[in-house]
Amino acid sequence: FSALSAGKHVFTEKPLATSASDGRRLVAEARARGLLLGAAPDTFLGAAGRRARRLMDEGAIGRPVTGTAFMMGRGMEHWHPNPQFYYQPGGGPVFDMGPYYLTMLVNLLGPVVRVMAMATRGQEQRLITADGPFKNTSFKVGTPTNVLSLLEFRSGATVTFGASWDVFKHSNHPIELHGTEGSLRLPDPDTFGGTVSLSARGADWTDFASEGELYGARNWPYA
């Protein structure tokens, strides 16, 4: 807010804000001052995201009807030496990783107009097993770690989105979209690359790999 008040354009890390009211306040301030306001992530601009957008624009799956998106894992305490902050207000799987998935979905399907959701905590206490000064100590969880939601888009499509740090193993694809003419499968939107797969009216999947394309490595420029 201070940067906007000083007349500066703002590009910030995700999420834009940790509450809807704060987000609306920032947007209103930027509009009133004629300033640009943006937030990460930018991974939807990678090769996989561009391929998916191209296929959607070409009508490869027809009119989008429904879909699923899942960001699920076991949390941070098994690898991060100081993970407590991830589990406090302002943290949690939706704020930490959800923006990658939601940004990709909005880029492909348009704005979200309605959300229904439920949130729980899988554990009230977490045990840190990662090497470091807090190894084998526990801490209290202060925010939901398991969120299931139903998103309604202005286009009419509906998507089930699940974000959880209470899952050891699963077989859900990161994003699947289904339309009147076919289905589209996307890789992890936390990365720039990966394989996008298309099934036309129930046919076998056709894979579109991103290796060799601009921003095509899974974690460009490091992969």
Q: What is the pLDDT of residues 72-85, one digit of tens each?
A: 999 999 999 999 99
Q: Are 33 and 6 in contact (CB under 8 A)?
A: no
CATH of residue 133's domain is 3.30.360.10
Average pLDDT over residues 28-52: 95
Please provide residue 143's backbone torsions phi and psi, each rounded to the nearest 5 degrees.
Answer: -150, 155
pLDDT at position 223: 45
164 closest CA partner among 44, 90, 69: 69
Overall number of domains in the chain:
2
Same domain, residue pair 36 and 111: no
Is residue 220 a part of any domain in this protein? Answer: no
Task: Output the pTM of the full model.
Answer: 0.92
222 pLDDT more than 80: no
Domain containing 73 equals: 43-208
Same domain, residue pair 62 and 3: no
Q: CB-based contacts of 121: which residues, under 8 Å, 6+ apart?
A: 141, 143, 144, 145, 146
In this structure, the number of other CB atoms found within 10 A of the CB of residue 146 comes to 19
Is residue 218 a part of any domain in this protein? Answer: no
Among 15-29, 117-131, 133-147, the minimum mean pLDDT is found in 15-29
Same domain, residue pair 119 and 168: yes
Same domain, residue pair 55 and 162: yes
Is residue 213 a part of any domain in this protein? Answer: no
Same domain, residue pair 80 and 187: yes
Tokens of 105: 């979905």
Is residue 216 a part of any domain in this protein? Answer: no
Same domain, residue pair 33 and 50: no
